[in-house]
Amino acid sequence: MDLKKYNKHSNHSIVQHTPPLCYELSGERFVLQMDDGDDYILDFKSEDYLEWTWKEEQSKQEKYVCLKSDDQIYLISFEVDGASQRANHTFVIDKESMLVTRVVATVGKNKRWPYLISTDIVFGAIWQEGVEFEPFPRHSFTSDMIGTVVEWAYGSELSTTHIYFDAHFYRITYTRSRVESLEQAREEYAFNNMANLPSSDEPTEYIRIKEGVYFVIMTERNCEKVLGPQVPWRSNTHGFLQNYNSGGYVVARAFGTSTIDGVDRATNIIDGAYGYFIGPADDELKAKLTDINPFIY
């Protein structure tokens, strides 16, 4: 079967396997007791809009998106309208454990590299009437996934292979099941100009939501510092809510900037992918689990 004719997106679209939006939180209100002391209120007014209050600021309305990862685990994302520096607020709300992870990503804080994204990650609990606040348990940073390789398919033609080799970094390589050589892989969109980098290593945070469910946050910083506008994507942060209990599926959001034909374009998308663990079937893949990261001393 030729899947190309069924693909309504571009041949290399990252959004083809994005699931339908989830509207289950409409009408619900959450008081998030965050461990940094700055509690956060999310009030889902409708299927499209929520009101948020944070740091004693006046409540503000935003258009949001929600994707569902598990029976009671949700990924919520919105960009702050009118912010002086572009900012995205992302939440993993876990109604099963009544825990939450908050990620605030901001563009423009770095004076040397203004496209770089800064991410602030805080854990917390969802307030429950009659339940006393406790400092634990929490979602947490984890090393569970270190030493694994996962192939992700975003659509009928776009796949990538992620190598989770370090507690603070990941690296990417071409997908063996779809291309037969590095030369062919370099013709693929996702790897254009990456050969000019010393390595594909990028900073990554691994967060354990529960057994078999992880939130993996990758932020393109090294590529931006070295290549800048030589690649169409600049500094973007991609948050993958990965569920291996359902056979290997991810819902995700991406936020940052792309520069196409000299014009900056805001990135703020959601996507999905099917994945599976693969073994280091060849010497090159084995080496990528142990190769030195040139960006650290």
pLDDT tens for residues 6-26? Answer: 344 444 468 889 999 999 999
- Domain end call among 95, 128, 161: 128
In a domain, 109, yes or no: yes
Q: What is the pLDDT of residue 181?
A: 54
More reliable by pLDDT, 277 or 29: 29
- Reported as a pLDDT band with limits 50, 70 and 90, residue 169 is very high
CA distance 173 to 196: 14
Instruction: Judge if 246 and 282 occupy the same domain.
Output: yes
One domain, residues 274 and 213: yes
Structure tokens at 110: 């770095």
pLDDT number for residue 284 = 75
Question: Do 212 and 266 fall within a single domain?
Answer: yes
Of 9-18, 225-234, 250-259, highest mean pLDDT:
250-259
Whether 117 has a pLDDT exceeding 90, the answer reads yes
Q: Is 49 exposed, middle or buried (0-12, 13-18, 19+ CB in 10 A)?
A: middle
Cα torsion at 178, 182, 183, 187 (round to 10°)? Answer: 50
State how far the Cα of 134 lies from the Cα of 125, in Å rounded to an integer: 8
33 and 113 share one domain: yes
- 297 domain-assigned: no
CATH of the domain at 95: 2.40.128.20
Residue 3 has pLDDT above 50, yes or no: no
Asked whether residue 264 falls in the same domain as residue 213, the answer is: yes
Say what the pLDDT of residue 183 is. 58
Asked if residue 148 is part of any domain, the answer here is yes
Residue 160 confidence (pLDDT): 87
Please enumerate in sequence order all residues whose Cβ is within 8 A of that of 255, keeping only pairs 6 or more positions apart, or say none: 77, 79, 88, 90, 105, 117, 236, 237, 267, 268
pLDDT for the residue 55: 83
- Any domain includes 295: no
Q: Kindly report the CA angle at 90 between 244 and 200, in degrees rounded to 5? A: 65
Within a domain: 11 = no
Domain total for the chain?
2
226 against 191, higher pLDDT: 226
Are 245 and 150 members of one domain? yes
Name the residue range of residue 154's domain. 141-288
> Is the domain of 152 the same as that of 260?
yes
Does residue 42 belong to any structural domain of this protein? Answer: yes
| Arithmetic mean of pLDDT over the chain | 89
Q: What is the C-alpha to C-alpha distance for residues 53 and 270, in angstroms, rounded to an integer?
A: 23
pTM recorded for the entire structure: 0.91
What pLDDT score was predicted for residue 285?
80
Report the C-alpha gap between 213 and 296 in whole angstroms: 29
Per-residue pLDDT tens digits for 196-215? 889 999 999 999 999 999 99
81 within some domain: yes
Instruction: State residue 283's pLDDT score.
Output: 74
When pLDDT is averaged across residues 79-89 and rounded to a whole number, the result is 96
Residue 249 lies inside a defined structural domain of this protein: yes
